[in-house]
């Protein structure tokens, strides 16, 4: 049995405000919201990061994300919302069961990444594109299963 706090919720061993389920995804309220109405949408089977989610489950996941996003917009009327995911500790992932965050956003709510944007120098942009493109072309992962 996987000791994962999201798996415990999915198994019914921990309480959560469940908002929506489809065949392979579930959406719950985040207990420590960025803004009230902040939702987590995750696969019902334990998958650590995005790349481990099978394509069939991803379709359910993104559909659930759209259903809940629409409901947040219609029910809470925020002027904007973010959909994002953190993959890996360095990216801020704290529960290693993949999830999309959906959070309402408000004007001047002062929530932002602190960004120091870089510029590519010389051929670097082409080099990075080539490395990633070659990996995509050598891998069957991008093909729909």
- Cα–Cα distance between 78 and 15 in angstroms, integer? 27
Report the nearest approach of Zn ion to the CB of residue 96 (Å).
Answer: 8
Catalytic residue among 38, 97, 99, 101: 99
Residues that bind Zn ion (CB under 5 A): 4, 6-7, 46, 97
Report the candidate in 7, 94, 1 with the shortest Cα–Cα distance to residue 46.
Answer: 7
Does 99 participate in catalysis according to the annotation? yes
Is 7 or 19 the residue whose CB approaches Zn ion more closely?
Answer: 7
- Do 52 and 61 touch, CB atoms closer than 8 A? no
Report the nearest approach of Zn ion to the CB of residue 56 (Å).
Answer: 18
Report the nearest approach of Zn ion to the CB of residue 6 (Å).
Answer: 4
Catalytic residues: 99
């Amino acid at each position: 049995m996987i000791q994962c706090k999201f798996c415990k919720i999915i198994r019914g061993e921990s309480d959560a405000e469940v908002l929506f389920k489809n065949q392979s995804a579930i959406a719950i309220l985040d207990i420590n919201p960025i803004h009230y109405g902040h939702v987590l949408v995750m696969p019902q089977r334990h998958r650590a990061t995005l790349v481990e989610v099978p394509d069939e489950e991803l379709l359910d996941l993104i559909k659930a994300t759209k259903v809940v996003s629409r409901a947040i917009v219609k029910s809470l009327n925020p002027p904007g919302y973010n959909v994002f995911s953190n993959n890996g500790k360095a990216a801020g992932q704290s529960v290693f069961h993949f999830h999309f965050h959906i959070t309402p956003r408000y004007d001047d709510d002062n929530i932002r990444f602190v960004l120091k944007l870089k510029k590519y120098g010389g051929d670097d942009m082409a080099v990075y594109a080539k490395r990633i493109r070659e990996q995509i072309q050598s891998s069957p992962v991008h093909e729909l299963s």
